[in-house]
Amino acid sequence: MTMLCPAFAFCLPESLAFQPRARLKKHMAHTPTQEAARTAASVPPRHEDLLVQVGTRRDRAAFRTLFEYYAPRLKAYLIKNGAAESAAEEIVQNTFVTVWEKAAQYDPKKSAASTWIFTIARNRRIDALRREKYVEIDSDNPALHLAASDAPDDAYADAATVEKLHAAIETLPADQAALLRMAFFEDKTHQAIADETRIPLGTVKSRLRLALEKLRGGMALRKKTQGQAHD
């Protein structure tokens, strides 16, 4: 069974929930520093708030909560993408060391915690497995931040607007969602997907194209050619 499973999870409304609430609550019971962040209804803090606490207060309990949620998932993702057990463990460690070091730069207005952690894990994975540095867009260079701040209200990846995207994903038929996952996140060639799924190569390509077109439509992006790529 696939680890990252049922790409069909794409299609489940539940998959919108980033935080497993029961699990978070368990850890929250021991973290008085986070009590303030909880509402009267004892809603667990959002991962974004935890990450901000790590950045601003060096809050170890918040850090641990994030670790306990993301570490096993990241490890599963890494192993699924070809890392050996020991290498995956090492990359998870490197990822969380970087999360701690960079947490002060995290801006919840610009990205969801899950997206931010995912990009760090992706970059650490390439450092480790390919022995090369991934070109990171958000370096510490002010020139790049200038470009990012041009459209702060339009940021696509903050926790609230990410849901819009997920809604688009959920409209994808399961077969298209599964192919997307294989093509883009498991880095399989179209031929390898065709062999594995026993779907003819031409069908694989046309379904991927359909899926991408739907995502584009769902992201409320104007259908445009490359030549008109500006907003």
Q: Please report, as residue ranges, which positions from 99 to 128 form the binding site for other proteins (by CB under 8 A).
A: 100-101, 111-112, 114-115, 117-119, 121-123, 125-128
Does residue 36 interact with other proteins by CB under 8 A? no
What's the sign of the alpha-carbon dihedral 12, 13, 14, 16? positive
Cα–Cα nearest to 136, from 114, 121, 119, 158: 119
Q: Show contacts with other proteins in window 130-189 (CB under 8 A).
A: 130-137, 139, 141, 143-144, 146-148, 150-151, 154-157, 162, 165-166, 169, 181, 184-185, 187
In sequence order, what are the residues at sequence separation of 6 or more whose Cβ sits closer than 8 angstroms to the Cβ of residue 104? Answer: 55, 56
Residue 2 vs 191, nearer CB to other proteins? 2
Stretch that binds other proteins, among 25-33, 36-44, 194-202, 209-217 (CB under 8 A): 209-217
102 and 109 in contact (C-beta within 8 Å)?
A: no
CA 197 vs CA 133, 149, 202, 213: distances in Å: 33, 43, 13, 22
Q: Show contacts with other proteins in window 39-78 (CB under 8 A).
A: 60, 64, 67-68, 70-77
Residue 52 vs 178, nearer CB to other proteins? 178
- Judged by CB under 8 A, the residue of 9, 61, 87, 192 near other proteins is 9
164 and 17 in contact (C-beta within 8 Å)?
A: no
25 and 54 in contact (C-beta within 8 Å)?
A: no
Nearest distance from C-beta of residue 41 to other proteins, angstroms: 23
Q: Number of residues in contact with other proteins, rule: CB under 8 A?
A: 90
Structure token digits, residue 190: 């179209």
